[in-house]
Amino acid sequence: MKIFQILFLFTFFSVISHASVNDFCVADVKAPNTYSGYPCKPVAKITSDDFVFHGLVAAKTNNSFKIGVTSATVTNFPALNGLGISAMRVDMDEGGLSPMHTHPDATELGIVVQGEFTAGFLTPTSFYSKVLKAGDVFVVPKGMLHFAINSGKGKAIGYVSFSSENPTIHTLDSLLFANKLPSDLVAKTTLLDLEQVKKLKARFGGSG
Amino acid sequence: MKIFQILFLFTFFSVISHASVNDFCVADVKAPNTYSGYPCKPVAKITSDDFVFHGLVAAKTNNSFKIGVTSATVTNFPALNGLGISAMRVDMDEGGLSPMHTHPDATELGIVVQGEFTAGFLTPTSFYSKVLKAGDVFVVPKGMLHFAINSGKGKAIGYVSFSSENPTIHTLDSLLFANKLPSDLVAKTTLLDLEQVKKLKARFGGSG
Amino acid sequence: MKIFQILFLFTFFSVISHASVNDFCVADVKAPNTYSGYPCKPVAKITSDDFVFHGLVAAKTNNSFKIGVTSATVTNFPALNGLGISAMRVDMDEGGLSPMHTHPDATELGIVVQGEFTAGFLTPTSFYSKVLKAGDVFVVPKGMLHFAINSGKGKAIGYVSFSSENPTIHTLDSLLFANKLPSDLVAKTTLLDLEQVKKLKARFGGSG
Amino acid sequence: MKIFQILFLFTFFSVISHASVNDFCVADVKAPNTYSGYPCKPVAKITSDDFVFHGLVAAKTNNSFKIGVTSATVTNFPALNGLGISAMRVDMDEGGLSPMHTHPDATELGIVVQGEFTAGFLTPTSFYSKVLKAGDVFVVPKGMLHFAINSGKGKAIGYVSFSSENPTIHTLDSLLFANKLPSDLVAKTTLLDLEQVKKLKARFGGSG
Amino acid sequence: MKIFQILFLFTFFSVISHASVNDFCVADVKAPNTYSGYPCKPVAKITSDDFVFHGLVAAKTNNSFKIGVTSATVTNFPALNGLGISAMRVDMDEGGLSPMHTHPDATELGIVVQGEFTAGFLTPTSFYSKVLKAGDVFVVPKGMLHFAINSGKGKAIGYVSFSSENPTIHTLDSLLFANKLPSDLVAKTTLLDLEQVKKLKARFGGSG
Amino acid sequence: MKIFQILFLFTFFSVISHASVNDFCVADVKAPNTYSGYPCKPVAKITSDDFVFHGLVAAKTNNSFKIGVTSATVTNFPALNGLGISAMRVDMDEGGLSPMHTHPDATELGIVVQGEFTAGFLTPTSFYSKVLKAGDVFVVPKGMLHFAINSGKGKAIGYVSFSSENPTIHTLDSLLFANKLPSDLVAKTTLLDLEQVKKLKARFGGSG
């Protein structure tokens, strides 16, 4: 029966080989990006290795926020292209924190694995904040300004997923204080005191 | 020939009356909302008036920001439901400004009609800002932190469109200072000085 | 503290520079288009000027429709790429009009700034039409056949936004009468008299 | 082993029963519609019959266009809700035609089964038209004004699919001539002669 | 009046020629694909022929499943690019069948033209199956495992549409038995007997 | 200055309270579902607790597959409604496995936390499979048939995210063997031996 089968495969399954490229589209990250993602790497060059990212492990936390972040997004894990999902691992030493930030086009879902976080997000009329322990899941709808702190004893560890393969991180301090936007303009449009602005500009490497 | 036509209309165009509801979906704003918009008002109750909003005129500017904003969004112009667009008129007295804010799920396109604005938006690594005069159009991609000031003489007027029928406005000062999120937590996660936080909490009606 | 900060920026914010391309995607309009927009111009080449369009001012109205249209869409304002919004300014002299047309994939929101328009759109079973004055906003759901006339005294001016960065204008007369589709076929499929078709073909530069 | 299996089913597959509603969403067409479709009929009430539509057969063609159209769209085949597809059968007697029309939010794909059609669609600068025979497939991108005529001998039959479960049909003559929009306004905005407008208004049951 | 018209066309319709590329985007199938489709062929090279596919006729059925499938999808009908629709013709000899398969990202709508099919799809808790005759329409929501058999006398013929221009076919037997995934791993993860797996691997050309 | 502020809040921020409902839409899971999700719980009833799910911890593994699955999806974590993301925790004892299954409308991203998994997915022409250790991330594009086994010593633990708030699990054995679809029909359309089908029907609680 195998002989008939081969003939059959030729006529019937020929549809498959043409079309299979669209089941996934591993990014050719060196090609020009588009608003909806990267062009695809040719199917013939795709191997099992493309679908695995190694090293979503603890990053160093020897910085002033005592936070370590490792991420697997489309730029270092091209198989995520077009699939609308990505991941990070977050480690915070005792007293560490993730400063106020937004992900303009991604919802964030956090899973607490160890320790205790206090996480929250802000809306124009309210805020939503909780103390989270191992086994808790927290969701921050896309575009919301949010933060997290290690509010417990010892290290806190969590995994975070995003509803985008390429989430950007807009940390408030970077936005306001790490560039050359004139200090008085920042002060005026945030209502912060000019000295406060200058102090943080100095700290975050901004000028103006 | 009119008689045949009537028969024809009965058999052929019957398709139309059933289906026409989906060309538009004027919101029944009293029904429960969904993530993708409101249920539709029955077609039989829709009139020409549903597709017109009156009063996108100058709002009062006698507030501390010297700004007046009038908006036509799905909540007061239900015909926009599902159509992904809305509008505002912005008037600023000399010296007025629109403080730093985001629209988490809407791109903003601004058209300057009178006077001079300086508008800009911030990214983690840069900022984009320009002086705008009558006839200039400025675009702020969705989710970006942005501001505008009246940088000229006299009143400045502009029309703004959004790529959402229900854009929300997340003014940074409201997010940070108008609620009860504890001041020390705000200070810690923004790196602002605690006194600065308390000063602005007092001004924006927040506590904690 | 600045020194720790620099180290911190290196480890923590490295995420940002990779990913920031996707907050916006200024079109490289010389690259081949795709169904969902143009490839992106490299981030390094983007400046504040990319986000501003100059000249959304009155266009000349010395044509038979007494209408002047200026547009800011992705083809002349590449920053709109992927953002789903664009704008036009419409000026009509007294007696001017915008002939029946559709935008196949864009909702149109019009703001009346001066004068009086009568605007309307048509459905298979009804029509929705209103006299509009300064401060009125009118919405035409995507794909609907619609028109506007200056129904008042003197000039009428409006701004129009679209829920697409690249709205196309399908003017009915151009569709039917500006090409070489045989006149008898047009007559047959529109039920217009053949002479009527030929008369308008002559006027709109069509043949056949 | 069956006993362990039952326990297993309880703990592991419990996930399934909760979630299965979203694999499909058969419309409850009596509930209020939304822009993105109808609410779902409860899963418990869904049977095999819901997924079958009977009667996509030849409709009568005894009308002035000699066309018969039978449709299976969400309004009479509620299982299509949310699935973005629907179908029609079109029969045309010799000399029959489908007058100029658009589907504002659906691409149309036509398969010729018998006879000969000439079908085409119009753009502002061109038109695309072909003679089609059995086995030919024709596509009309969404929102394009298009037509079809039986250009052969005897009956012509085709099946049509739409990229929407609820395509609307905007026949040009119905839009322009079947309602009460004043004849002079129609004439002015289409550039048709007033007499032509009145003649067709009379034929299509319009007035004004 | 033609002279004014020409001037008018120059100022007013200039908008159109720039933008018309986006009404459709015929695929340049030799350019690298993206997750959301192919880049567009230049508008200047598009002709009426692009919008027609020839040969959606009966395919040979001399294979072990007694099925013949002809398809018109984006790979051989590039005009479908971005339009979210495609078609197939299915012929089955008496006793023929379409084995269990899924289309991971396309809903399938089938129209029975001749003969009798029994078609069905499976869910974790139920199945939906019907005997279908000429004029019946059947829908399989996207991603569902489904089958069809010719359950009548003589040949059965149907047309199938998909809510994707590039539907892939994942035949269960090909997935499980046509590749080199080790037989014991297949047996373990399907609970099929190892001998059964090996028997079908031999038949479908797999190994391991 | 606080007094002016209050006036200001009244005029300027009034926009905010109307619109804030759309930043998120916590599901009212007792209301009828729609294809695109549940209606929203009123904003006034939403508290911080809505955004936290408790108990994404190890589930019992005392079943024949030695697997424990705990999930946080829209049905038990209504805040996920419309946000396009959800999570599961998977525990497998040594020798455990997750049998072949698909998620028809969700990409799956898995993070290995402890132990060793071998995971893979199948396409019509190939398969992609890897041995995964702690810190590895694996992605299964939506709709692909896939499996995972604990291929190491001791327990294996992972977190899984989905690009849908309501992923369904279509386990192959449940689809084929847990319902009443006649055994001979299953055998015929899968090419499995009839005895094999009956054996597994008995094991999975199916009949027919």
Digit-coded pLDDT (tens) for F114-158 = 999 999 999 998 999 999 999 999 999 999 999 999 999 999 999
| Max avg pLDDT among B193-202, C22-31, D35-44 | B193-202
Amino acid at A56: L
The mean per-residue pLDDT over the stretch A173-184 comes to 96
Mutation for D interface: B5, B12, B83, most D CBs within 10 A: B12
Residue A153, pLDDT score: 97
Distance from CA of B19 to the nearest CA of D (A): 6
pLDDT band at D140 (very low <50, low <70, confident <90, very high): very high
Give the helix/strand (H/E) hosting D105: none
Distance from CA of B161 to the nearest CA of D (A): 21
Residue F118, pLDDT score: 98
Taking the C-alpha atoms of residue F32 and residue F28, their distance in angstroms, rounded to an integer, is 9
Q: Which of D123, D127, D189 sits opposite C97 (nearest CB)?
A: D189
Give the start-end residues of each E strand in chain F: 52-53, 67-72, 86-92, 97-102, 108-114, 116-122, 127-133, 137-140, 145-150, 156-162, 170-171
Residue C32, pLDDT score: 87
CB C148 within 8 A of CB C169: no
Give the start-end residues of each E strand in B5-143: 52-53, 67-72, 86-92, 97-102, 108-114, 116-122, 127-133, 137-140
Residue C9, pLDDT score: 45
The mean per-residue pLDDT over the stretch A123-152 comes to 97
Taking the C-alpha atoms of residue D160 and residue D108, their distance in angstroms, rounded to an integer, is 7
Is there a contact between D102 and C105 if contact means CB atoms under 8 Å apart? no
Mutation for E interface: C35, C81, C168, C203, most E CBs within 10 A: C35
The full DSSP string for D42-96 is PGGG--GGGGEE----PPP--STT-EEEEEE-TTT-GGGTTT--EEEEEEE-TT-
CB B66 within 8 A of CB B96: yes
- Residues of D within 8 A of E24 (CB-CB) are 141, 144
Strands ordered across the beta sheet of F108-114? A52-53, F137-140, F108-114, F156-162, F86-92, F67-72
- Give the tokens for residue C125: 């079973």
Q: Which of D99, D191, D199 sits opposite C189 (nearest CB)?
A: D99
Residue C14, pLDDT score: 40
pLDDT band at B107 (very low <50, low <70, confident <90, very high): very high
pLDDT band at C18 (very low <50, low <70, confident <90, very high): very low
Is there a contact between A68 and C5 if contact means CB atoms under 8 Å apart? no
- Give the tokens for residue A79: 């198989």
Taking the C-alpha atoms of residue D112 and residue F91, their distance in angstroms, rounded to an integer, is 55
Q: Please check the confidence at residue A151 and state whether its pLDDT lies above 60.
A: yes
Distance from CA of D135 to the nearest CA of C (A): 24
Amino acid at E80: L
D23 DSSP assignment:
G
Instruction: Work out whether the CA dihedral E184, E190, E193, E198 comes out positive or negative.
Output: negative
Residue E19, pLDDT score: 38
Residue F18, pLDDT score: 38
Residue E32, pLDDT score: 87
Provide the 3-class DSSP secondary structure of residue F53: strand
**Binding site as annotated, residues of A for Mn(2+):** 101, 103, 108, 146
Closest residue in D to B1 (Cα) is D203
Provide the 3-class DSSP secondary structure of residue E83: coil
Distance from CA of E66 to the nearest CA of A (A): 9
Q: What stretches of E94-182 show up as alpha helix (H) in DSSP? A: 172-177
Chains in touch with E (3+ beta-carbon pairs under 8 Å) read A, C, D, F
The mean per-residue pLDDT over the stretch C25-39 comes to 90
Q: Please check the confidence at residue B16 and state whether its pLDDT lies above 60.
A: no
User: What does DSSP say about strands A127-133 and A116-122: parallel, antiparallel, or unpaired?
Assistant: antiparallel
Residue A57, pLDDT score: 97
In this predicted model, what pLDDT tens digit does every residue of D69-93 receive, in sequence order? 999 999 999 999 999 999 999 999 9
Residue C104 burial class via C-beta count within 10 angstroms: exposed 0-12, middle 13-18, buried 19 and up: buried
Residue D108 burial class via C-beta count within 10 angstroms: exposed 0-12, middle 13-18, buried 19 and up: buried
Residue F34, pLDDT score: 87
- Give the tokens for residue D98: 């489908």
Is there a contact between D129 and C181 if contact means CB atoms under 8 Å apart? yes
Q: Of C59, C32, C8, C33, nearest to C168 (Cα)? A: C33
Residue C196 Rama label (left phi>0; alpha psi -120 to 50; beta): alpha
Closest residue in A to C38 (Cα) is A34
In this predicted model, what pLDDT tens digit does every residue of B119-153 receive, in sequence order? 999 999 899 999 999 999 999 999 999 999 999 99
pLDDT band at D201 (very low <50, low <70, confident <90, very high): very high
pLDDT band at E36 (very low <50, low <70, confident <90, very high): confident
Q: What number of CA atoms fall less than 13 Å from residue B203's CA on the CB side?
A: 16
Q: Please check the confidence at residue B17 and state whether its pLDDT lies above 90.
A: no
The mean per-residue pLDDT over the stretch C124-128 comes to 93
Residue A19 burial class via C-beta count within 10 angstroms: exposed 0-12, middle 13-18, buried 19 and up: buried
In this predicted model, what pLDDT tens digit does every residue of A185-205 receive, in sequence order? 999 999 999 999 999 999 999
Lowest pLDDT segment from A45-54, A62-71, B59-68, E33-42? E33-42
Q: Which of F122, F189, F203 sits opposite E179 (nearest CB)?
A: F122
Residue D11, pLDDT score: 43
Is there a contact between F76 and D18 if contact means CB atoms under 8 Å apart? yes
Q: Please check the confidence at residue A2 and state whether its pLDDT lies above 70.
A: no
Query: Which residues is B89 bridged to in the sheet?
Result: B70, B159
Provide the 3-class DSSP secondary structure of residue D7: helix
Chains in touch with B (3+ beta-carbon pairs under 8 Å) read A, C, D, F
**Binding site as annotated, residues of E for oxalate:** 103, 108
In this predicted model, what pLDDT tens digit does every residue of B61-95 receive, in sequence order? 999 999 999 999 999 999 999 999 999 999 999 99
Residues 6 or more apart whose CB falls under 8 angstroms from that of D152 comprise D94, D115, D116, D117
- Residues of C within 8 A of A68 (CB-CB) are 11
- Residues of E within 8 A of A7 (CB-CB) are 62-63
Q: What number of CA atoms fall less than 13 Å from residue F133's CA on the CB side?
A: 4
Kindly report the average pLDDT of chain A as a whole number.
91
In this predicted model, what pLDDT tens digit does every residue of E2-26 receive, in sequence order? 444 444 444 444 433 333 447 999 9
pLDDT band at C35 (very low <50, low <70, confident <90, very high): confident
Lowest pLDDT segment from C30-34, E179-183, F181-185? C30-34
Provide the 3-class DSSP secondary structure of residue F55: coil
pLDDT band at F32 (very low <50, low <70, confident <90, very high): confident
Q: Of B122, B130, B73, B118, nearest to B92 (Cα)? A: B118
Closest residue in F to E148 (Cα) is F189
Is there a contact between D28 and F32 if contact means CB atoms under 8 Å apart? yes
In this predicted model, what pLDDT tens digit does every residue of E116-175 receive, in sequence order? 999 999 999 899 999 999 999 999 999 999 999 999 999 999 999 999 999 999 999 999
Give the helix/strand (H/E) hosting B184: helix B183-190
Residue A81, pLDDT score: 96
User: What does DSSP say about strands A97-102 and B52-53: parallel, antiparallel, or unpaired?
Assistant: unpaired
Taking the C-alpha atoms of residue A52 and residue A29, their distance in angstroms, rounded to an integer, is 16
Residue F205, pLDDT score: 93
Is there a contact between E36 and A39 if contact means CB atoms under 8 Å apart? no
Is there a contact between E196 and F196 if contact means CB atoms under 8 Å apart? yes
The mean per-residue pLDDT over the stretch C110-128 comes to 96
Q: Of B129, B159, B158, B130, nearest to B145 (Cα)? A: B129
Residue pairs spanning C and E at CB distance below 8 A = 84
pLDDT band at A208 (very low <50, low <70, confident <90, very high): confident
Residue C34, pLDDT score: 87
Q: Of A65, A133, A71, A126, nearest to A94 (Cα)? A: A65
Domains of chain E from N-terminus onward: 3-168 (2.60.120.10), 169-208 (no CATH)
Q: Please check the confidence at residue E92 and state whether its pLDDT lies above 70.
A: yes
CA B104 vs CA A36, A174, B171, C179, F133: distances in Å: 18, 18, 11, 45, 37
Count of other CB atoms within 10 angstroms of residue F126:
18
- Residues of B within 8 A of D173 (CB-CB) are none
Residue E21 burial class via C-beta count within 10 angstroms: exposed 0-12, middle 13-18, buried 19 and up: buried
Q: Please check the confidence at residue A10 and state whether its pLDDT lies above 50.
A: no
Q: Please check the confidence at residue B167 and state whether its pLDDT lies above 90.
A: yes
Q: Of F110, C167, C17, E24, nearest to D122 (Cα)? A: E24
Kindly report the average pLDDT of chain F as a whole number.
91
Residue B11, pLDDT score: 43
